[in-house]
Amino acid sequence: MKLRIYADFNSVGDGEGAWCWCLRYNGMLLDEVAPDLNLSEGQTVVLFYEDPAEEFEFDATLSFRNGQWMALPDKSSFRRLRG
């Protein structure tokens, strides 16, 4: 089963696509739990966003960039769960 990570979808474009900052896993800061999760470059995860009005997710590929975990969402995998 893929890890489901809460992400900031205010993207960072760099010519390769729109990267998202990976923020939380099960309510904990991702950077704090990353060693326990054995995260790796190229790993496929699910990125999600939720608030009271909506919830959606994408499949994405992880990368460790500029000292933090980021992911490149596969825009074709968009799934609206609520809203």
d(CA 28, CA 13): 26
- Residues 65-74 have pLDDT tens digits of 888 899 999 9
Domain boundaries, given as residue ranges, for the chain: 4-82
Write the CA distances from 76 to 60, 64, 67, 72, 79, integer angstroms: 10, 23, 27, 12, 9
Q: What is the pLDDT of residues 8-29, one digit of tens each?
A: 887 665 655 688 889 999 999 9
Nearest to 75 by CA among 51, 56, 54, 53: 56
Any idea which residue has 């054995």 for tokens? 38
